[in-house]
Amino acid sequence: MSLIVTVNVEEGIVMASDSRLTMNLPRDVNGQTVLECGVSQSDTIYKTFLAKNGIGISMYGDATINAIPISGYIESFINEKMVEGQTSVDEVPELLVEYFQAMSNIPNTGFHVAGYKTEGEKRVKKVYKVIISNGNISNIVPNQLLHGSIWDGESDVLIRVINPHLHFSEDMVAYSPLTSHSIPFEMFTLQDAIDFAVYAIKTTADTMRFQMRTKTVGGPIDVLVIKQHEAFWIQKKSLHI
């Protein structure tokens, strides 16, 4: 699994992701196939990509296809299916669905796609959520007044931190709401959006470290910023010795 976060604020869009690749490995035990879940294979996989025309693409879910990291397939998609100066952010979701559904082994993978598109004299934000298995495409930012964040993958930790909760009595009959505080995304600066995206992924990874569960989120955090007329990396892991 993974955790990807996309934050939309007035100044631009921030996309972030972790770097952990886990695999489910089958092995034979006394003639029966046993599935070892969540074996950590690498903390260096790319899940967020800066594609042509300032478009950001993040993936979650199955990170391999036929035991090959999906990052290579996404890079091939960008090179083969996107045209510099032509392919718009509105076209990318359908192109992704067509590309991955044409494979013999369709991955259980989802994507966030974000960028800007010129409409009239304005540069308009676009954020899409794409699910490959059923071809579902959701337009997350239907107008410029909506600010906030979406996240997908291993989201249970973040949901518990942010969403309101109830405290039940020991007999599970009476309950009372715990104090909760909303997050004013509409007041976020671009730096606030960067800090929130990193916080969301780091908090999830740090919490998983102490829980009795598979550690499916971890490694370096890649952070991409998309503004009206430019897109650039705030933080990106690189090859090294």
Task: Compute mean pLDDT per 10 residues along the chain, 241 residues long, and list them.
Answer: 94 97 67 59 93 98 90 97 97 98 95 96 95 96 79 94 72 74 93 98 96 93 97 96 93
Return the CATH architecture of domain 3-235. Answer: 4-Layer Sandwich (3.60)
3-state secondary structure 175-235: EEECCCCCCCHHHCCHHHHHHHHHHHHHHHHHHHHHCCCCCCCCCCCEEEEECCCCEEEEE
Closest by CA to 33, choosing from 41, 25, 22, is 25
Q: Is the pTM of this model over 0.75?
A: yes
pLDDT at 146: 78
Structure tokens at 75: 């890079």
Taken in order 204, 209, 215, 219, the sign of the CA dihedral is positive
Cβ atoms of 50 and 222 within 8 Å: the answer is no
Question: For residues 32 and 54, what is the distance between their CA atoms, to the nearest angstrom?
Answer: 49
pLDDT at 144: 57
Question: For residues 185 and 64, what is the distance between their CA atoms, to the nearest angstrom?
Answer: 34
pLDDT at 163: 79
Domain regions of the chain by residue span: 3-235
CA distances from 158 to 104, 105, 112, 204 (A): 34, 31, 18, 7
Convert 66-101 to b/e letters by CB count within 10 Å (16 or more is b).
eeebbbebbeebbeebbeeeebebebbbebbbebbe
Question: For residues 176 and 173, what is the distance between their CA atoms, to the nearest angstrom?
Answer: 10
pLDDT at 66: 86
